[in-house]
Structures are given as structure tokens and as C-alpha cells.
Amino acid sequence: MTAPSLPAATVAGLAKGLNAGEFSSVELTEACLGRIAASQPGLNAFITVTAEAALAEAGAADTRRREGRAGPLTGVPIAHKDIFCTQDVLTTCGSRMLSNFVSPYDATVVAKLREAGTVALGKLNMDEFAMGSSNETSFFGPVRNPWDTTRVPGGSSGGSAAAVAARIAPAATATDTGGSIRQPAALCGVTGIKPTYGRVSRYGMIAFASSLDQAGLITVSAEDAALMLGAMAGFDPRDSTSVDSPVPDYAATLEQPLAGLTIGLVKEFFDKGLDRQCEQRIRDALAVYEKLGARLVEVSCPNLPLSVPTYYVVAPAECSSNLARFDGVRFGHRCESPRNLTDLYNRSRGEGFGAEVKRRIMTGTYVLSAGYYDAYYLKAQRVRQLISRDFAEAFGQVDLLLGPTSPTAAFAIGAKTEDPITMYLNDIYTIGANLAGLPAMSLPCGFADGLPVGLQLIGPHFSEARMLNAAHRYQMETDWHLRVPAAFG
């Protein structure tokens, strides 16, 4: 038995090969570990590689398969964004603050995928505490885009997107607070899905902005996402925001025809900020959907342009509260020889947090302070409700919304680090879905100057099955999701 060619592999294909006995999980895991070692100096996608544990898990998966106890994902290697707690493994959140933290337990997402039989290759690099749109804020250095290593992979789940795009991991967990799954998926030419808020447990996922954070996936294809989301999703009593609702068989409805599907084109997404080549790739995709029988309708969400300023009040406010626990007392970075408790707090937090995290903590503290709460935070929450209402009215007319994921293709490393506002605007098309708690995904739809372009789908609450179906049928008509960067083919 020999492992397959990983550049051509998908989770679905690997699962079939394992089930047919074409190769073993150990062989497959060894192949992935070899690609990780070869690519790490150039991409910096991983923070921690758990090679020994991965091979042990792969051996156990092969044993289960021989004994007839294997499930659909048994033996498939994956990697986890380093925001998910993983028992006895370093869990850093891309920050110096947690650079020495070894988690004593598994996040629910990690536990569920472990129970499904997947093999964990390690922990993926990310923007510090998930705060960034380029994966340049990580304490462990920037991740590089496999399509052009002088460019960013997007953030905060840049390590997840780069690893899947370079085919050094068949799939990866990720998180999305304002586009942190979809934007890097778009910039790296892979598929990324953010489920409905509450569909996947947040227990053990280190919090940034609790009312916005959602666990999800980055994969090669919509089919892969459907297989893995079915294993991840479900009610968790340890997460007070988890929704107690049955999980559909997402893979069962992938092949349904799209005849009769109504897709709304969000007028506000096709504005002057959208790169012309990116817009053309989106319009090319629209023609494919029309060919598949979908009906296209223009809709308006007039308050959607307010999503960026709304997000950058709400998210920092919640971050300033969530990150108060990192104080140098119980775990994480502690300054040396503190003079007193105040000095311990000041220097531990000052040394442990990077510039972007500090900026957001200070912003959040300001908008929650006496005299400013009503003017900023309360007003932002009201606008958030208006944005949610716009989406609800749009879904009264259409089944799904469609538009670009990012206004441009991947930009150069360092191009926007000195201008936070310009960096924040990269999420202008993705933030609205988080504010409204809606499911959304990005899928590759072509290239602009040799760099991937992402198409975004947004659905009503708990419409992941319909959204995955629409994405899968598009991918059956195109091969953009199967393209691999030349250096990793």
C-alpha cells in the first residue's frame, strides 16, 4: 500500500481510499508530516506539530478499521487552529501570553473530531487571539500565502487556509468572528464555512468576542465540509450559547438540483471598493448558477455598509472583557520579578499582548466606560439589530445571498500593517453574517492576476445544508477548488 498523491486528495477521497484499503492511515499521516516538514520554513503554517501523537492515533485508526469499527472519517489527518484547547498540547492562540500554556482538556470541537476518528497533525498558526485579517499579528511570525509567499494568506485563520491550500493538511478547523474563516479561504483558494451561531460548540475555544465567535472549517471542497461539519456540530450543555437542534446529514443533500433556487445579489456588495477582476469572477460564477437552474434577484441590505464600524465597537468591547483573565496570575506569561501586584498586571499584560490586541482592548474599554457606553456600545448594538433585520427581509425574498468574499485578492505582507483602518476594511463583506449570527461560506471562483478569488454564500439561520448543496453543485461544474499552487503540486 502507498499513500495517495496529497495534492489531488480531498477528505472524501481519502476516506474512500482508506475504506478500500488502498493505503493505511499511518502511511497517509507520514505523507502529511513529510509535507509539513518540507513546507514549514516557507509557509510557517504550523505552531506545533504533534508527529508522535499523530502516528499513534493513525495506528489506532488502522486497528479500528481492521476490527470493523471505523467511521467515515476514521484515519483522516486534519489540523486544528491554535485557538482550540487540545489536551496535553501547547495551545497558544498565536500569542506570547499563552506561549507556555499546555491545555489540560480538549475543546468540544477537538473531542468530537477525535471521536470521529480523525488524526490530529498539530496546531496551526493564527493572528494573535484571532485579531487580524492577514495573519501578521502572530507572535510566531506571519503565515505566507502558498500561491505567492510574498503575500498574506488572510486572517485570522491564515494557518488553516494556507495548510489546506498547500495540501499539507487535508482539512483544518478554524474560527470566524468577522470573516476569519471566509476571508483567508478566499485569499488561499479553498473552501471555508462558518456555521450558524450556536450550531457548533464554543466550549474550549479561546474567546475573542463571544457573541460573534463561531467555530467552523476550511477544506478543499464543499463535500469535505459537509462530512466534517456533521461530525463537529451538535448541542453541548457546556456552552450556554449552543443550540439544542438536530444535526442534519449534510452530505445526504449535496446532489439535489438547484432548479427553483432563488439567489439574491446584495447590491451593497458590488460597490466601488470591489476590485474589477474580482467582480468579473463573481459574475462568471453567476452564469454557472443560472445554467444550473437558479434564479438571480437583486436585493438591498441598506444598513450593511455600517457593519465594519459596528463590529469594531462590539468586538473590542467583548474582547476587553474576555481578555481580562490573562493577567499573569493563574496561567500564561508572567513578567519576571514583579515589584507588586499592579506591576505584575501591567508588565505581564504589556509583555504578553501584541500591538493589535492592545489596540482592541483599549478601544473596547473606552466604549464600555462611563459616559461613552450609550454613545458607542449601545448605539452599535442598535445598528446590529438593523443589519439583522435587513438580512431577514432579504431572506423573505430569496433562499441564499451571493457576493464577493473579499474586495481584493491577497495583498503583500506588510502592505497594510501601518494602517489598521484599511486592514479592517478587508472584512467589509463578511462581518454582517457574524453580526446577524448567519451561516456563510466562501468557495473559490477563479483568479485575479494569478491569485485566488472567493465567492461568498450567506443563508438564513440553520441553512447549512442548502448552502453546502449550492456550493457543491457549483464545484461539480468548475475545478477552481481543485487547483493547487505550483510550488505544492
Write out pLDDT tens, residues 432-479.
999 999 999 999 999 999 999 999 999 999 999 999 999 999 999 999
CB 157 within 8 Å of CB 184: yes
Res. 425: pLDDT tops 90: no
174: Cβ contacts below 8 Å, ≥ 6 apart: 81, 157, 160, 161, 180, 181, 184, 192, 215, 216, 217, 218
pLDDT given at position 420: 87
End-to-end CA distance of the chain: 22
Q: What is the pLDDT of residues 151-161, one digit of tens each?
A: 999 999 999 99
For residue 142, name the pLDDT band (cuts at 50, 70, 90): very high
pLDDT tens across 346-398, in order?
999 999 999 999 999 999 999 999 889 999 999 999 999 999 999 999 999 99
Alpha-carbon gap, residue 251 to 266, rounded angstroms: 28
Average pLDDT over the chain, rounded to whole? Answer: 96
- Give Cα 162 distance to the centre of its chain: 11
Q: What are phi and psi of 339, to 5 degrees?
A: -80, -35
The 10s digit of each residue's pLDDT in 214-262 is 999 999 999 999 999 999 999 999 999 999 999 999 999 999 999 999 9
What percent of the chain has pLDDT above 90? 95
Catalytic residues: 81, 156, 180
Query: CB count, 10 Å around CB of 295?
Result: 15
- In the numeric block, which cell numbers belong to residue 267? 447590491
User: CB-based burial of residue 219 (10 Å sphere; 0-12 exposed, 13-18 middle, 19+ buried)?
Assistant: buried
> Using one digit for the tens of pLDDT, what is the confidence trace for 266-314?
999 998 889 999 999 999 999 999 999 999 999 999 999 999 999 999 9
- Where exactly are the structural domains of the chain? 6-258+466-488
- The fold of the 6-258+466-488 domain, in CATH, is Amidase signature (AS) enzymes (3.90.1300)
CB 147 within 8 A of CB 409: no
The CA distance from 314 to 175, in Å, is: 17
Does pLDDT of 5 surpass 90? no
Tell me what percent of the residues of the chain surpass a pLDDT of 70: 99
Decide: 406 and 183 in contact? Cβ < 8 Å. Answer: yes
Label residue 77 by pLDDT band (50, 70, 90).
very high
- State residue 86's pLDDT score: 98
Each residue's pLDDT tens digit, 263-273: 999 999 998 88
The residue with greater pLDDT, 371 or 137, is 137
Helices (H), 217-371: 222-232, 276-291, 307-322, 341-352, 355-367
What mean pLDDT do residues 47-56 have? Answer: 98
Residue 4 confidence (pLDDT) = 63
C-alpha cell at 100: 507556555
pLDDT at 8: 74
